Chains A and B, each alone.
Chain A
Amino acid sequence: MTDRIREQMSALLDGELPGDEMGLLVRRLERDEQLRRAFGNYVLAGEALRSPSGPLASARFAAKVSAAIDAGTVEVAPVRPGRPAPVRWARPAIATAVAASAAVVAVLLVKPAMQETAVVAGGAVQQAQRALASLPIIAESSPTPAHSQRLAGYLMAHSQFAGAIGRRNVWSSVLASDPGITRASYEFAETP
């Protein structure tokens, strides 16, 4: 390691090295552990001069940062062929599939009358959704009382054809989301 290179390194530390000399020096520093250590010592001396006390990074700090960066790079590297990639979503997907299967079995075990009710309820939900979709989009998020009342009347009419379960589902999924509709529907129900 020549004095010329070390002098360049000192100038680099001070931001005084001409740009055209920097490339070669950076590459040298990348290869030369001894040179990097000297650069670290120059930095350390300056730090010790500026502050009379206080913690300093340990001698291995920069090497540890470098190793941590390398470890991170390995983590994001593509998986080699032949080794199955770790499937992070597999466990929750299996759990969801098991839960869905259990739900299907439960549905199949209920009475046929309940199935009919569910069909009617499903139809009511779809119609309610269509009704919501047909409403004009208003800049403000709250619908006008007239819109709310119209929708509530629509839902009430359909609820007469739905069973208890269906009616509860329709009300809970649609009305609970809009206090304006809830208020209008109560007014509608109380009207003789």
Chain B
Amino acid sequence: MKPMANFPPSDGSMQTQEPRDAEPRPASGVEQSDLELVRRAQRGERGAFDLLVLRYQHKVVKLVARLLRDPTEAEDVAQEAFVKAYRALASFRGDSAFYTWLYRIAVNTARNAMASRQRRPLDYEADLSETEQSAVASRMSHSDTPEATALSDEIHATVNRAVAELPEDLRTAIILREIEGLSYEEIAAAMDCPVGTVRSRIFRAREAIDRNLKPLLD
């Protein structure tokens, strides 16, 4: 495990100042879990930050793609946002939810990318070397190409089909969790069962969905 280096970021243009929540409110389980992962990452546990990336990667890519209105650049900009967040992690005190802070970095990074795009000459690709052109082509290949869009559509369809095929108790549990955002305790109250049962049902639902997804992703 490597201790975190390059804190705070030397890049003054980066706005990573932590927003404060308007009113103090109890942190959700996910926020508390995020904070615990952040604390671990601040102590040098890279695995903890990797989990935060896995948890928020789709949300950040989606947010950036909407802001840029050009999905071909979204992954690169989202990647840059995560790297900036990692470098600025030492300054995160927990005054706001981690995702609020991360989204702020993502928005600023997207804004910088848009400004940079406006400065870029329209015919810049004509001046690119062969290697650079290849890099551009490679970037295009994994973002919003027809293949990537088709895969994304297929993932959505597979997940929804898998959920529809779940036994009723698993389906209810996963929907209350993922779509309604209820805590295990709230789901337990709604389904009139122990919290441990909720935890187990949600896990089994995820496993069933994962079995359907694997052939697509491998």
Contacts and interface: CB of A to CB of B under 8 A. Distances in A.
A14 B74 CA distance: 26
A15 B34 contact: yes
Contact of B61 (A14, A57, A59): A57
B71 interface: yes
A54 B203 CA distance: 25
Nearest to B45: A26
A132 interface: no
Interface string A1-41: 00100110011111111010011001101110000101111
B36 A46 contact: no
A131 interface: no
B210 A42 contact: yes
How big is the B interface, by class?
35 or more
Contacts of B46: 30, 66, 69
Contacts of A55: 61-62, 65, 71, 74, 143-144, 148-149, 152
B163 A49 contact: yes
Interface in A43-79: 43-62, 64-66, 68-69, 72-73, 76-77
A171 to B, nearest CB: 38
A65 B59 CA distance: 15
B183 interface: yes
Nearest to A23: B40
Contact of A29 (B51, B75, B153): B51
Interface of B is mostly: helix
A54 B6 contact: no
A59 B82 CA distance: 16
B18 interface: no
A67 to B, nearest CB: 10
Given A58-B75, A65-B79, A22 B155 contact: no
A-side interface mostly: helix
Contact of B33 (A12, A40, A49, A52): A12
Interface in B150-209: 152-153, 155-156, 158-160, 162-163, 174-175, 177-179, 183-184, 199-200, 202-203, 206-207, 209
A50 to B, nearest CB: 6
A59 B217 contact: yes
Interface string B46-68: 11111101110111111001000
Most buried by A among B53, B62, B65: B53
A10 B202 contact: yes
A18 to B, nearest CB: 10
B119 interface: no
A42 B54 CA distance: 10
B47 A46 contact: no
A24 to B, nearest CB: 11
A44 B83 contact: no
Interface of B: 1-2, 5-6, 28-34, 36-37, 40, 45-51, 53-55, 57-62, 65, 71, 74-75, 78-79, 82-83, 86-87, 142-144, 148-149, 152-153, 155-156, 158-160, 162-163, 174-175, 177-179, 183-184, 199-200, 202-203, 206-207, 209-210, 213-214, 217
21 contacts: A10-B206, A14-B30, A16-B183, A22-B37, A26-B48, A27-B47, A30-B1, A30-B45, A41-B209, A41-B217, A45-B209, A52-B156, A57-B75, A59-B217, A60-B142, A61-B61, A62-B53, A64-B79, A68-B79, A69-B86, A77-B5
